[in-house]
Amino acid sequence: MDLAERIAAEHECAKLVQRYCVLVDDYRHEELVALWAPDGLWETWKGPLRGHAEMSAYLDAKAQTDTTIHMAHNIVIDVIDEDNASGVAIFTFHGTSRNDPKATLPRVVGRYFDRFVRTTDGWKFAHRRTDMTFRAG
User: What CA–CA distances, in Å, run from 34 to 37, 40, 42, 104, 125?
Assistant: 7, 10, 12, 30, 9
Share of residues in the chain with pLDDT > 70 (%)? 93
**What's phi and psi for 61, nearest 5 deg?**
-85, -15
Q: How confident is the model at residue 2 (pLDDT cuts 50, 70, 90)?
A: very high
Beta bridge partners of 122: 119
pLDDT at 120 over 80: yes
Inform me whether the pLDDT recorded for 102 exceeds 70. Answer: no
pLDDT of residue 22: 98
What end-to-end distance do the CA atoms of the chain give, in Å? 47
| CA separation for the pair 69, 91 (Å, rounded) | 10
- The confidence score (pLDDT) of residue 100 equals 65
